[in-house]
Protein backbone atom coordinates (compact mmCIF):
# COMPACT_ATOMS: atom_id res chain seq x y z
CA UNK A 1 0.00 0.00 0.00
CA UNK A 2 1.35 3.41 -0.92
CA UNK A 3 0.92 6.77 0.74
CA UNK A 4 -0.21 10.12 -0.64
CA UNK A 5 3.18 11.37 0.53
CA UNK A 6 4.65 10.21 -2.81
CA UNK A 7 2.65 12.87 -4.68
CA UNK A 8 3.34 16.46 -5.64
CA UNK A 9 0.96 18.88 -7.32
CA UNK A 10 1.32 22.37 -8.71
CA UNK A 11 -0.06 25.12 -6.47
CA UNK A 12 -2.27 28.02 -7.53
CA UNK A 13 0.73 30.34 -7.61
CA UNK A 14 2.91 27.89 -9.54
CA UNK A 15 4.69 26.61 -6.43
CA UNK A 16 4.92 22.90 -5.73
CA UNK A 17 2.77 21.28 -3.05
CA UNK A 18 4.72 18.24 -1.85
CA UNK A 19 2.52 15.91 0.18
CA UNK A 20 5.65 14.42 1.81
CA UNK A 21 5.99 17.67 3.79
CA UNK A 22 2.69 16.81 5.52
CA UNK A 23 4.07 13.69 7.23
CA UNK A 24 2.87 13.63 10.83
CA UNK A 25 -0.32 15.57 10.07
CA UNK A 26 -3.75 14.41 9.02
CA UNK A 27 -4.71 15.52 5.50
CA UNK A 28 -8.04 16.41 3.92
CA UNK A 29 -8.08 16.60 0.12
CA UNK A 30 -11.11 18.40 -1.31
CA UNK A 31 -12.05 19.07 -4.93
CA UNK A 32 -13.38 22.63 -4.93
CA UNK A 33 -15.27 25.00 -7.23
CA UNK A 34 -16.20 28.69 -7.03
CA UNK A 35 -19.70 28.55 -8.53
CA UNK A 36 -21.19 25.51 -6.80
CA UNK A 37 -24.06 25.14 -4.37
CA UNK A 38 -21.47 23.81 -1.90
CA UNK A 39 -19.00 26.69 -2.39
CA UNK A 40 -19.91 28.05 1.05
CA UNK A 41 -18.04 25.01 2.45
CA UNK A 42 -14.89 27.07 1.85
CA UNK A 43 -15.86 28.95 5.02
CA UNK A 44 -16.08 25.75 7.07
CA UNK A 45 -12.85 24.42 5.57
CA UNK A 46 -11.08 27.65 6.54
CA UNK A 47 -12.51 27.53 10.09
CA UNK A 48 -11.39 23.90 10.42
CA UNK A 49 -7.93 24.80 9.15
CA UNK A 50 -7.59 27.73 11.54
CA UNK A 51 -8.55 25.57 14.51
CA UNK A 52 -6.61 22.41 13.64
CA UNK A 53 -3.69 23.47 11.41
CA UNK A 54 -1.27 22.22 14.06
CA UNK A 55 -2.37 18.68 13.16
CA UNK A 56 -4.31 19.01 9.88
CA UNK A 57 -3.46 20.05 6.35
CA UNK A 58 -6.31 20.81 3.97
CA UNK A 59 -5.50 20.82 0.26
CA UNK A 60 -8.12 22.37 -1.99
CA UNK A 61 -7.93 21.14 -5.57
CA UNK A 62 -10.02 23.20 -8.02
CA UNK A 63 -11.68 21.28 -10.82
CA UNK A 64 -14.13 22.23 -13.56
CA UNK A 65 -15.51 18.71 -14.07
CA UNK A 66 -19.04 19.33 -12.82
CA UNK A 67 -21.34 21.75 -14.59
CA UNK A 68 -18.56 24.19 -15.48
CA UNK A 69 -18.61 25.45 -11.89
CA UNK A 70 -14.92 26.35 -11.80
CA UNK A 71 -14.41 28.36 -14.99
CA UNK A 72 -11.75 30.70 -13.58
CA UNK A 73 -8.02 30.79 -14.15
CA UNK A 74 -5.70 29.89 -11.28
CA UNK A 75 -5.23 33.59 -10.56
CA UNK A 76 -9.00 34.22 -10.53
CA UNK A 77 -9.57 31.22 -8.25
CA UNK A 78 -6.94 32.48 -5.82
CA UNK A 79 -8.46 35.97 -5.73
CA UNK A 80 -11.96 34.56 -5.22
CA UNK A 81 -10.89 32.29 -2.36
CA UNK A 82 -8.90 34.94 -0.50
CA UNK A 83 -11.43 37.75 -0.99
CA UNK A 84 -14.57 35.78 -0.15
CA UNK A 85 -13.37 33.20 2.37
CA UNK A 86 -9.88 34.23 3.54
CA UNK A 87 -8.54 30.85 2.44
CA UNK A 88 -5.07 30.23 3.86
CA UNK A 89 -4.80 26.46 3.41
CA UNK A 90 -2.84 25.14 0.41
CA UNK A 91 -4.65 25.38 -2.91
CA UNK A 92 -3.54 23.44 -5.97
CA UNK A 93 -3.72 24.59 -9.56
CA UNK A 94 -6.89 23.58 -11.39
CA UNK A 95 -6.91 19.95 -12.55
CA UNK A 96 -9.28 17.28 -13.80
CA UNK A 97 -10.55 14.80 -11.19
CA UNK A 98 -12.49 12.43 -13.46
CA UNK A 99 -11.70 9.76 -16.03
CA UNK A 100 -8.53 9.09 -17.94
CA UNK A 101 -7.48 12.75 -17.68
CA UNK A 102 -7.77 12.74 -13.87
CA UNK A 103 -4.74 13.98 -11.97
CA UNK A 104 -2.68 11.05 -10.59
CA UNK A 105 -3.65 12.03 -7.03
CA UNK A 106 -7.31 11.48 -7.89
CA UNK A 107 -6.58 8.21 -9.67
CA UNK A 108 -4.86 7.09 -6.45
CA UNK A 109 -7.59 8.41 -4.14
CA UNK A 110 -10.42 6.68 -6.02
CA UNK A 111 -8.86 3.28 -6.80
CA UNK A 112 -8.55 0.60 -4.14
CA UNK A 113 -5.86 -1.13 -6.19
CA UNK A 114 -3.71 1.99 -5.67
CA UNK A 115 -4.77 3.31 -2.23
CA UNK A 116 -5.37 -0.10 -0.63
CA UNK A 117 -8.57 0.98 1.12
CA UNK A 118 -11.59 1.86 -1.02
CA UNK A 119 -12.89 2.41 -4.50
CA UNK A 120 -14.81 5.67 -4.68
CA UNK A 121 -16.18 7.99 -7.31
CA UNK A 122 -15.99 11.76 -7.24
CA UNK A 123 -19.58 12.64 -8.13
CA UNK A 124 -19.57 16.40 -7.52
CA UNK A 125 -17.53 19.25 -6.07
CA UNK A 126 -16.42 19.31 -2.42
CA UNK A 127 -15.79 15.58 -1.96
CA UNK A 128 -13.53 15.03 1.04
CA UNK A 129 -10.79 12.41 1.29
CA UNK A 130 -9.33 11.96 4.77
CA UNK A 131 -5.82 10.62 5.26
CA UNK A 132 -3.92 9.74 8.41
CA UNK A 133 -0.58 11.09 9.62
CA UNK A 134 1.28 8.52 7.49
CA UNK A 135 -0.60 9.58 4.35
CA UNK A 136 -2.85 6.53 4.14
CA UNK A 137 -6.45 6.93 3.06
CA UNK A 138 -8.89 6.57 5.96
CA UNK A 139 -12.27 7.58 4.52
CA UNK A 140 -14.19 9.39 1.83
CA UNK A 141 -17.09 11.81 2.34
CA UNK A 142 -19.37 13.15 -0.42
CA UNK A 143 -20.26 16.80 -1.00
CA UNK A 144 -23.28 16.67 1.30
CA UNK A 145 -21.09 15.97 4.35
CA UNK A 146 -19.99 19.25 5.88
CA UNK A 147 -16.29 19.77 6.64
CA UNK A 148 -17.35 20.26 10.26
CA UNK A 149 -19.57 17.18 10.39
CA UNK A 150 -19.34 15.22 13.64
CA UNK A 151 -17.68 12.27 11.87
CA UNK A 152 -14.87 14.51 10.60
CA UNK A 153 -14.45 16.29 13.93
CA UNK A 154 -14.27 12.92 15.72
CA UNK A 155 -11.56 11.80 13.25
CA UNK A 156 -9.59 14.96 14.02
CA UNK A 157 -9.85 14.44 17.77
CA UNK A 158 -8.37 10.93 17.62
Residues with catalytic annotation? 36
Residues with Cβ < 8 Å from 92, sequence gap 6 or more? 9, 10, 11, 12, 17, 59, 60, 61, 62
- Output the CA torsion 149→152→157→158 (10° steps): 150
Cα–Cα distance, 136 to 7 (Å, whole number): 12
Burial bucket for residue 100 (CB in 10 Å: 0-12, 13-18, 19+):
exposed
Amino acid sequence: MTSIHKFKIEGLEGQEIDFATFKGKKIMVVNVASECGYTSQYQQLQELYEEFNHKLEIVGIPANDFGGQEPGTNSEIQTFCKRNYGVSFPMAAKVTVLGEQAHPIYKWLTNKTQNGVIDSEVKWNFNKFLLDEEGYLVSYHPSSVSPIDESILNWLMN
